[in-house]
Every structure is written in C-alpha cells, then in structure tokens.
Structure 1
Amino acid sequence: MKEIRKFIDTIAPMNDSDWEFFASKLQKVALEKNTVVLEVGKTEKYLSFISQGIIRLYIPKETSDLTFGFVFDNEFVTAYDSFLTQSPSEYQLETLTETILWKISTNDLQEVYKKTKNGNLIGRKMAEKMFLIKSKRELSFLNKTAEERYLDLFSDRPKLVKQIPLKYIASYIGVTPQALSRIRKRIS
C-alpha cells in the first residue's frame, strides 16, 4: 500500500486521516498471469492501482484481438468509460503477468471524494492524466509511422515491453506480427 500513498502524494498529498479513510476502502487482489479482470459486457465497478504487474486493454476478436492499451506498475487502471457511466464495457482487461491490485469500488470512491480534502483534486488530476495518455495515443496514429510508435513504446518502457508478447505489441501499434518483425529487424 506504500506505493499508492507515494503515487498519490506526487499528485496532491493527503493528510494522515484522509489517507487512513481512503486506505480503509481498498481491497488487495492477487491475480495470476492471463487472468481476465473485466469481460466485455460487464460493468466496471472498480478503480484499481497496480502495485505489481501489467494489464492489457483490448477488444477480443475471433482472428486476433485489438490491443489498445497497457498499464504498468504504479498506475491506475479501469475501464474508465464503463466505470464513469456504469454501463457495460465494450472491451476487456487482462493481466499479462502475475499482478497485485488495490481496488476501490465506485461507491467507496465517491465517498472518498466527498469526505476528504484532496479526493476530488486527485480524481480530477488522474482523469486528466488518462485523457492525455489517450490523446497521445490517438495523435501517434495520426502523425507517426508504426516504427515510430514502436520506438516510442520501447523508449517509454524498455524493461516492461520485454514482458509483453510481440503479438500484443503489434496489435497496439496497428500492424501485423510479421510487419512488427520487419520493423524490429530494420532498427536492430
């Protein structure tokens, strides 16, 4: 739980009583590799902090999944649109490694927002961060080549990318695994 406090303190420090209230609402969950955290058609009920692990966001397809996000250690993860609207998700979340999450329910998070000094500020800043990540990804598809998208991913997370199967990386940057193979050969 220390990781969450440290992370939150970088956004907007919480006083000890607010932290204790927030921490009392968290549930620790340990998941095996390749565990579906949220299925298509299910409603997201939790915002989770990844204390350890990698989670992939994707749309399952018969031939090959469409991966559109990876979330790593010391980051929050959720099917945010489903979480906000409390409607069924159109995509899935799956662990790519053994993963430890600290989860807070929608209702408990709303209570934290109401009863703590910085809860709303932290929530707003996290929503802004998620927007910027989504915006950066969309702009990269409009302005960059697949090779540039791969290099960006590799430079942002070199150690962690090695833990992600190449077929998911290929899907994430919008190419086939064969095209990713060619890109990797060209840049090595």
Structure 2
Amino acid sequence: MREKIVHYFSKIALLSEDEASAIKNSAVVKNYAKGTVLVHEGQFSKETFFVLKGLIRQYNLTEGEEKTTAFFTEEQWVMALNNLEGDNPSPYYWVCEEDSVLLLGNDDSAQIIFNQFPRLESLARKIVENTFADYQQTILNYLTDSPEQRYLRLLESRPDLIQRIPQYQLASYIGVKPESLSRIRKRLTKKP
C-alpha cells in the first residue's frame, strides 16, 4: 500500500530515490472498518487522509438531516482546506462508507519531511492547490447545474461511485430527495 502513495507523488513530479524512500518510510497507513467516523462535526483535527482503498463520505447535519457534500475514493485527499492548521472545529463529519485503507498525515509530520527534502513541500502545495481547484469546480457545478445535470455529470465523471453508494446518499449529494432521484433516473431511461 505504501507504494501507492509513492506512485501518486511520482505522477506529479519525478522523485529521487531518497525522496521516494522518505515518503514510503514516513507513511502512516491504517485500516478502518466501514462505519468508522474519522472526524465528527465540531471536532478539532489536524489530520488529512489519502484514500489508498475505500470510500469516505463527508456530510453535515442540517436540522437533523444528513446533507452529503463529498465522496472521496482511491487516490483522493480528504482534507479540510479551511482548516489546515487544525485550529477551527470541523463543520462536517467524515465517515468510512466501506472498509478503508488510509494514509494519515498532518502538518507536523509533513514539516519534518519538508525540512529534509524541501522540494516535497512544493509538491504538497501543488496537491493542495489541485484539491482546492477540484472543490471549487464541484461547488460551481452544484450552484449552476440542475439536479439532473449533477446526476449526469456524476455518471460521466465517477460512474463507479454510483455503484458504491446507497441511493439516499446519492440523492443527498445531488441535492434532492430519493423519490426525486428515482424520477430523474426514470426520465433518463426513457430518453432516446
């Protein structure tokens, strides 16, 4: 599993043997059972996670109802971009929706590697920038697309996700009730 994180970094920039070895040797990899809550709303946490295997769901509670705001799968970072220092309480929950294998990270451990290998800090910055850009695009799509367009976009960009999550979570993610999602699916199957 540790090789996966080295492979991920290598796709961003060519790593020296020492850099690859430092990443691999410093990686903290943990297994989590389905249903494990990684972060609770209101919790202070400096942790970031890299999904090596599994599925993490991000949601808020609004008037007692879960509102799914993100799904993270293999080779995605789970991080609170508004709270990289860990000094603000989390506004959401992160929960494992499948048995998951995650790489754990935080700023303290990253600084140790950055001091030894300064080039890795710029790689980490690029990862945060890419993650932020992905979040921004997701928010823009959510604000401008209809629920049907959101569903179609998800079918196109992440078809595997549709098979991995329950319909009520999918409905919440695209901003509708499960009955409305059923109508959207039905309408789409009737289109030529």
Normalising TM by the smaller chain, what interval? over 0.9
TM-score by length of 1: 0.92
Q: 2:80 & 2:88 partners in 1: Cα distance?
A: 10
Q: 1:47 & 1:19 partners in 2: Cα distance?
A: 20
Q: 1:2 & 1:26 partners in 2: Cα distance?
A: 10
- Which runs of 5 or more residues in structure 1 are unaligned? none
**What SS does structure 1 have at the residue aligned with 2:84?**
helix
Aligned to 2:112: 111
Does 2:124 correspond to 1:126? Answer: no
**What SS does structure 2 have at the residue aligned with 1:80?**
coil
Aligned to 1:173: 174
**Could you list the per-position Cα deviations for residues 79-113 of structure 1 after superposition, in whole angstroms to 9, with x for gaps in the alignment?**
33233353211111011111000112320112223
Deviates more, 1:61-70 or 1:7-16: 61-70
Query: Contact (CA 8 Å) 1:81, 1:89: kept in 2 or not?
Result: no
- Which runs of 5 or more residues in structure 2 are unaligned? none
Q: 2:85 & 2:120 partners in 1: Cα distance?
A: 16
Aligned to 1:95: 96
Deviates more, 1:55-64 or 1:32-41: 55-64
- 1:122 is displaced (CA, Å) by 1.4
Query: Contact (CA 8 Å) 2:51, 2:75: kept in 1 or not?
Result: yes
Matches within 5 A, 1:131-150: 131-150=132-151
Structure 1 runs of 4+ with >6 Å offset: none
TM-score by length of 2: 0.90
Cα root mean square deviation, aligned: 1.6
Query: Contact (CA 8 Å) 1:56, 1:71: kept in 2 or not?
Result: yes
**Could you list the per-position Cα deviations for residues 104-160 of structure 1 after superposition, in whole angstroms to 9, with x for gaps in the alignment?**
232011222332142122112111111111111121123211101111111111123
Overall identity of the aligned pairs, in %: 28
Q: 1:116 & 1:86 partners in 2: Cα distance?
A: 26
Matches within 5 A, 1:144-159: 144-159=145-160
Q: Which amino acid aligns with 1:33?
A: K
Q: 1:153 & 1:118 partners in 2: Cα distance?
A: 35
Q: Which amino acid aligns with 2:30?
A: V
- 1:44 is displaced (CA, Å) by 2.1
Q: Which amino acid aligns with 1:58?
A: Y
**What SS does structure 1 have at the residue aligned with 2:82?**
helix
**Could you list the per-position Cα deviations for residues 39-61 of structure 1 after superposition, in whole angstroms to 9, with x for gaps in the alignment?**
11212222221110010111124
- 1:38 is displaced (CA, Å) by 0.7
Matches within 5 A, 1:1-188: 1-188=2-189
Query: Contact (CA 8 Å) 1:25, 1:104: kept in 2 or not?
Result: no
Q: Which amino acid aligns with 1:100?
A: V
Deviates more, 1:139-148 or 1:49-58: 139-148
